[in-house]
Chain A
Amino acid sequence: MKKFINNNDDFLKESLTGFGKAHSDIINVNLDPSFVSRKNKTKDGKVSLISGGGSGHEPMHGGFVGHGMLDAACPGFVFSAPTPDQMQAAAEHVDSGAGVLFIVKNYSGDIMNFEMGAEMYSGKNDSIITNDDVAVEDSTFTTGRRGVAATVLVEKIVGSLAENSGSLDECKKLGEKVNKNAGTMGVAFTSCTVPAAGKPTFDIGDDEMEFGVGIHGEPGRKREKIQPSKTIVGNILEAILDNLKPEKNEKNLLFVNGMGGTPLTELYLVYEDACQILQSKGVEVTKSLVGNYCTSLEMQGASITLLKCDDEILKHWDAPVHTAAMRWGM
């Protein structure tokens, strides 16, 4: 393992402290319990949005704290759900009286810890659970699909509604709509290495890829020989379109997300392939996002998310945002 690391016990604390210093104009980092919150207090009457999850997916979620997006984020250890006391402390810190909406990715550990955090928090609160990963089918045999990159879109879009006086119920409803309108699938060329483990999470041949990989390097649909980008992108989009079934005249947001180890050059190539394929199928792309937003440490690979957009979603997507990892309009 080659990583910038001093010792494993301090890994997260040192990284969070650095993050706090680098973005001290936008956020504060609290340690013990760990949470990232906005530098400016949440204005009275604004619903507070809190997300969180294991670390190792940066900039998710701390990088999305700021105007127009989250009010706080709770980072767990690398790839481990955060603990209920973090959610409780973050909620007490940011809630301005309008209530707290927890945004949770559908993973057992996250669900359980956020549930307990919500039970421990005495103020008004509600939760939405994202489950956009179409790689693993929702069936009676699974706990459902995984929550992955579309969580970024949910946080941005609901963040704008909360900023514009949306109520707790309205924010939850919009979040659920965005989640339902989104589909994601990823592919990995290499494994990631969890610092505490010191070695790669999975073995994969030089000429192989994991199709449908999760954001912790957990296996997806199948292991395959690597193929040209157009073929990979075509297969991913087929799985997403099968699931989402966008209408011909519907507007869509195309999000190409890097897993952490793939250069932007390749991500833009993926974006171009995806645009061409979608165009050939009559799927209209009107909004775009390309970059490393929901990563899996140093894993090489990418995911593609398609989000069907109505006017409400488009309006809130375009609205101003000012966070460490996403900024436009202000």
Chain B
Amino acid sequence: MSVSFLISQAKGVQKVIDENSAEIEVLDQKIGDGDHIFNIQRGLKLVVELEDAIKDLPLSKALNMIAMKVLSGIGGSSGALFGTFFMTMAKSSDLDKDVDFNKACEMIISGIKAMKERGKADVGEKTMMDVLLPVSDKLNELKNESEFKPGLNEVIKIAEERMLSTKDMLATKGRASFLGERAKGHIDPGARSSQLIIDTICKSVINN
């Protein structure tokens, strides 16, 4: 993981999220309050715009700048959660050394753990954590493998299955929780956007 990797992934994710924005907006309007997609898009735009400011910085400083930008520029649940994610990654030790696959996995795992604590949400509550926590568990299995590309294909599959599984869940966290039975039948918008992000990054890593 390097600063240029982060920038190129942000651009790739931005493209995919923009292509799927209408679908996510509708999901959020069905069971949330419709702000999720705008927050995600605003955050990605801000991060992509940071390119010139961060491209020559060490990884820890770049991650910290991304974290502060996300935290101060997005708002809503997404801003707090993704801000927490990047802030935790920035606090990882030994970022001045080469960040290999194993280290990158550990950073992502600790970032997702911090998101879980911030949002106080667990698997089965119809939120983005339904996708992120199983992905984190899988990365924990994979992190020591020398040939990780097949494993990333499994990550893609897990993210998609878990995203789809939110459809029939009753929401117990987030704004969808106020809907009770009426939230059933709709995929959680946060789970969908998280799955798209994971899908995009994994595919990009596999193909390079």
Chain A residues near B (Cβ < 8 Å): 33, 54, 76-86, 107-109, 112-113, 115-116, 135-136, 141-143, 146, 194, 196-197, 201-202, 214, 216-220
Determine if B172 and A112 form an interchain contact, defined as CB atoms under 8 angstroms apart. no
Determine if A109 and B76 form an interchain contact, defined as CB atoms under 8 angstroms apart. yes
Complexed CA–CA distance, A328 and B133 (Å): 52
Determine if B39 and A80 form an interchain contact, defined as CB atoms under 8 angstroms apart. yes
**B165 interface residue per 8 A CB criterion:** no
Determine if A80 and B35 form an interchain contact, defined as CB atoms under 8 angstroms apart. yes
- Least CB distance from B174 to A in Å reads 5
Determine if A83 and B72 form an interchain contact, defined as CB atoms under 8 angstroms apart. yes
Residues of B contacting A82 with CB < 8 Å? 75
Q: How many A-B residue pairs have CB under 8 A?
A: 115
Lowest 9 CB-CB distances: which A-B pairs, in order?
Answer: A112-B80, A216-B33, A80-B76, A109-B77, A80-B75, A109-B76, A85-B72, A76-B75, A136-B178
- Least CB distance from B112 to A in Å reads 15
Residues of B contacting A202 with CB < 8 Å? 29
Q: Mark B37-52, 1 if CB is under 8 A from A, else 0.
A: 0110010000000000
Q: A54-B76, A109-B79, A112-B80 are in contact. List 11 more A-B contacts (CB 8 A).
A: A33-B72, A83-B74, A83-B79, A136-B180, A141-B170, A142-B178, A143-B173, A143-B177, A196-B38, A216-B33, A216-B175
- Residue pairs across A and B with Cβ atoms less than 8 A apart, 11 shown, are A76-B75, A80-B35, A81-B75, A82-B75, A84-B71, A112-B77, A115-B80, A201-B29, A201-B34, A217-B33, A219-B179
**B182 interface residue per 8 A CB criterion:** yes
- Least CB distance from B46 to A in Å reads 12
Main secondary structure of the interface of B (DSSP, over half): helix
Determine if B80 and A113 form an interchain contact, defined as CB atoms under 8 angstroms apart. yes
Q: What residue of chain B has the Cβ atom nearest to residue A222's Cβ? A: B182
- Residues of B21-42 at the interface with A, using a CB-CB cut-off of 8 Å, are 25, 29, 32-35, 38-39, 42
Residues of B contacting A112 with CB < 8 Å? 77, 80-81, 118-119
Residues of A contacting B35 with CB < 8 Å? 54, 77-80, 194, 196
Complexed CA–CA distance, A113 and B72 (Å): 10
**B73 interface residue per 8 A CB criterion:** yes
Residues of B contacting A197 with CB < 8 Å? 25, 29, 34, 38
Residues of B in contact (CB 8 Å), total 35
Determine if A141 and B172 form an interchain contact, defined as CB atoms under 8 angstroms apart. yes
Determine if A113 and B75 form an interchain contact, defined as CB atoms under 8 angstroms apart. yes
Select one of B79, B118, B119 contacting A81, CB under 8 A: B79
Determine if B178 and A214 form an interchain contact, defined as CB atoms under 8 angstroms apart. yes
Complexed CA–CA distance, A146 and B176 (Å): 12
Residues of B contacting A84 with CB < 8 Å? 71-72, 80, 83
Determine if B177 and A142 form an interchain contact, defined as CB atoms under 8 angstroms apart. yes
Complexed CA–CA distance, A69 and B76 (Å): 25
Determine if B72 and A218 form an interchain contact, defined as CB atoms under 8 angstroms apart. no
- Least CB distance from B166 to A in Å reads 15
Determine if A108 and B77 form an interchain contact, defined as CB atoms under 8 angstroms apart. yes
Q: Mark B58-99, 1 if CB is under 8 A from A, else 0.
A: 000000000010011111111111011000000000000000
Question: Given A77-B35, A112-B81, A202-B29, does the pair A107, B75 have CB atoms closer than 8 Å?
Answer: no
Q: What residue of chain A has the Cβ atom nearest to residue B30's Cβ? A: A202
- Least CB distance from B114 to A in Å reads 11
Residues of A contacting B76 with CB < 8 Å? 54, 76-77, 80-81, 109, 113
